[in-house]
Amino acid sequence: MTLPETGQAMIIQRKKTAFKRLGAGLCLLGALFVAGCSTTNGNPAANDPWQSTNRKFFKVDRTLDKAIIKPIAKGYRNVVPERGRKSIRHFVDNLHAPVVFANDVLQFEPKRAGITLTRFAINSTIGLAGFFDPAKKMGLEPHEEDFGQTLAFYGIPEGPYVYLPILGPLPPRDMVGYVVDVLTNPLVWMGDPAAGYVNKGRVVADGLGDRERAIEVLENLEETSLDFYAGLRNLYRQNRENEIRNGEPQFDDLPDFEDDFEDEDF
């Protein structure tokens, strides 16, 4: 078998594996919805039917975080200057731009899709592979989109709350979204081994950067919450709702003042 044929075979195998993972993710989504609707354990008001299991996983993660992840994140902050951390974050975000663009299109957001595409072109060239963000200085503000948000756009409910080791909060909708986002990353489909190393480095850098930026937020939440687990669950949901609305204010929960004004005699 020649070298090009070997590369093609690798790509075909990756495609087969990717579709198997997508199918498994979709099956898992359905299973979780069915199980969540039929389970009575946990707190129904919080839509957390597997709370006892979730808390066990959360406890394991807290142990790992205190012993390994948080010290590494603090060391990363102390060793790498802020400007360097920002450059790494820009690079990671730029690699994620094709996924953001795909979800912009799926959500019928042509303006945001145009901004994402333009940012990617500028930052990949003038910004030296994305380590710098000249597009932002040109007025093209970055934004995040993922397939979990796209599913929410089409009315798919979040489903029961799920907490997984290492991955953290990942309800069924976001779980499937996570799998699809992984599969739509162009680096996954490239036959070049270097692309695989870059993708693995991106995942590590992304997780480490997120943990470093969340040091104070999580410390404050743990200190001020009577129940750290419930506090994190609420914070996750609030953050996801804000992302789904693209930062737009929520007016649905406001009182209806129109009827009150109609009753007044001016």
Q: What is the pLDDT along the chain (266 residues), one digit of tens a residue?
A: 454 444 455 444 554 554 445 555 455 555 444 444 444 455 666 899 999 999 999 999 999 999 999 999 999 999 999 999 999 999 999 999 999 999 999 999 999 999 999 999 999 999 999 999 999 999 999 999 999 999 999 999 999 999 999 999 999 999 999 999 999 999 888 878 888 899 999 999 999 999 999 999 999 999 999 999 999 999 999 999 999 998 776 655 544 444 443 444 43
Please, which residues bridge with residue 163 across strands? 169
- E strand segments, 71-177: 163-164, 168-169
Residue 4 lies in a domain: no
Structure confidence at residue 42 (pLDDT):
56
For the record, the structure tokens of 124 come out as 């990949």
In this structure, is residue 255 part of a structural domain? no
Looking at residue 258, its amino acid is E
Residue 230 within any structural domain of the chain? yes
* Residues spanned by the domain of 190: 19-39+47-244
Please state the domain count of the chain.
Answer: 1
Tokens 């993972």, residue located: 21
Residue type, 203: V
Assigned domain for 254 exists: no
In a domain, 24, yes or no: yes
Residue 83 token pair: 């400007």
- Domain membership flag for residue 130: yes
Q: Is residue 2 one of the residues assigned to a domain?
A: no
Residue 249 lies in a domain: no
Sign of CA dihedral 27, 162, 201, 63: negative
For the whole model, what pTM was predicted? 0.78
